[in-house]
Each structure stands twice: as structure tokens, then as C-alpha cells.
Structure 1
């Protein structure tokens, strides 16, 4: 479910109360722990944390007019979702997260490629997500992103 909300506040205001509280808390955690340089905006119908064009003028390779995405937070039909592109592209970061998750949550990790689903908003491991958010600076994310782009190009 992609939202048509134009602002983060409009997006949050449109959510049911239980989701509103969880998304608000998750965004607060990200705002407090993401390294300086990431920007918050609506992105792909969700709340996005991106590397702005001021830091990475090339933008996102599929649409250079868009800033480089990093984390998206959203409310889907049956869960709250956090998309972290770094988990998809950085195996060491993924291994760390998967290893840490059981230390912070009694629920089973429900994860796709870079997508973490939380079916019970009251069981979101905010402390772990704070640690995850702090792991990559915009510059570190750009480096990983560019390395992956070069690897893909060299495979062709």
C-alpha cells in the first residue's frame, strides 16, 4: 500500500492509532540515530531517509532525479515495514543484524531482501533498529552503493 501523502506528517496522521504510535516512535529512533546527512522525505509512498542530491548529485541510478534511497518506513495491510537497502547490499551488515535480532526480540525475524516486517507494532525492537541506523554514514552508504553498481556493470 503506497500512500499518496505529500508530507511525512500527513502520512503519519492518516494511519490507524496503533500504527501511528509505532511509526512515530520508529521515525523518532531513526531521526535520533541516523548519522548527519540523511534527509527525511516521502519516498515511494512511505517515509524515506535518503542521501540528498546535495551530497550525492548522481541520485538513484533508476531515476537520477530521485535522491539515493537508504531506509523507508511504512504501514502495510498486515504489518509495519522497514526497508533498509544496506541490508540487501552489505552481507556483513545483514549477518550482524540477523545475529543480533534474537537478542532484542522474542518474535521470529520476518524478513525479505532488505525488508523487515513487524506484525505486532508493540514488539518492534527499537533499540536494535537504533543500532542499525547508526551503522552507516551517508558516505559509507554511497561507497557500498557505488561498489555494487560497479560490480553489476562488470558482470555484464
Structure 2
């Protein structure tokens, strides 16, 4: 389900009561740990953290008018989603995260290519997600993106 909110604050304000607090905590976790240069915005109906055109003028190869996406958080119908593009294209980062996850969270890791899903908002390992957020700088992300995804 995609939000039509124009700002992250509006996105959170429009959430059902049982999702507002956890999404605000997830947003604050990301903002506190996000390396310099990334910018918070709304992209694809989610709260997103992107490399702005002022740093990477080429934008996203799928739609160059959009800034380069890096990380997004969303309240989906049946789960809270944490999308981290670098975890999808960096095998070492993926391995680190999957090894660390059981040390920080209850239950099995529910993960797609770049999406980490939390069906129970009480089981979100905020500290681990904060650490994951710190692991890739803007320059590292651009380099990985250009090497692996941009063709």
C-alpha cells in the first residue's frame, strides 16, 4: 500500500495509531545513524533516504529525475518494512546482517532482496538496524551502485 503523503511527518500522522510510535522510532533510528550526505524525503510512497541530485546528478537509472534511493521504511498492510538497497547488492553486508540478526531479534529473519519485514512491531531490533544504517557512506553507495546496478 503506497501512501500519498508528501512529507515524512504527514506519512506518520496518517498511520493507524498502533503503527505511529514504531514508525517514528524507526525513523529516528535511521536519522540518528544515517551517514552525512543522504537526504530524507518521500519516494515511492515511503519515507526514504536518498543521494540527492546535488551529490549524484545522474539520479536513479530507472528514472533519472528521481534521486538515487538508498534506504526506505514503510508501514505495509501486514508488516513494517525496512528496505536497504546495499544489503541487496553487497554480499559481505548481507552476510554480516544475517549473522547478527539472531543475536538481536526473536524469531526467524523475514527478508527479501532488499526488504526486511517485521510482522510483529515489538520484535524490531532497532539497535541492529541503526548499526546497519551506519555501514555504507554516500560515496560507498554510489560506487557500489555504479559497479553492480547501473549498466
Long gaps (5+) in structure 1: none
Tell me, in whole angstroms, the C-alpha distance in 2 between the residues paired with 1:129 and 1:143: 22
Long gaps (5+) in structure 2: none
Q: What TM-score does the superposition give when structure 2 sets the normalisation length?
A: 0.98
Query: Which residue does the alignment assign to 1:139?
Result: 139
Q: What's the CA shift for 1:16? A: 1.2
Q: What's the CA shift for 1:17? A: 1.6
The 5 A counterparts of 1:56-75 are: 56-75=56-75
Tell me, in whole angstroms, the C-alpha distance in 2 between the residues paired with 1:136 and 1:149: 16
Secondary structure of the structure 2 residue equivalent to 1:69? strand
Tell me, in whole angstroms, the C-alpha distance in 2 between the residues paired with 1:140 and 1:82: 20
Query: Which residue does the alignment assign to 1:31?
Result: 31
Query: Which residue does the alignment assign to 1:17?
Result: 17
Q: What's the CA shift for 1:18? A: 1.9
Q: What TM-score does the superposition give when structure 1 sets the normalisation length?
A: 0.94
Tell me, in whole angstroms, the C-alpha distance in 2 between the residues paired with 1:46 and 1:149: 21
Q: Which runs of 4+ in 1 moved over 6 A?
A: none
Q: What's the CA shift for 1:149? A: 3.3
Secondary structure of the structure 2 residue equivalent to 1:3? coil
Query: Which residue does the alignment assign to 2:103?
Result: 103
Deviations 1:89-119 (A, max 9, x none): 1111000000000000012100011100001
Tell me, in whole angstroms, the C-alpha distance in 2 between the residues paired with 1:66 and 1:72: 14
Secondary structure of the structure 1 residue equivalent to 2:27? helix
Q: How many pairs were matched up?
A: 151
Q: What's the CA shift for 1:143? A: 0.5
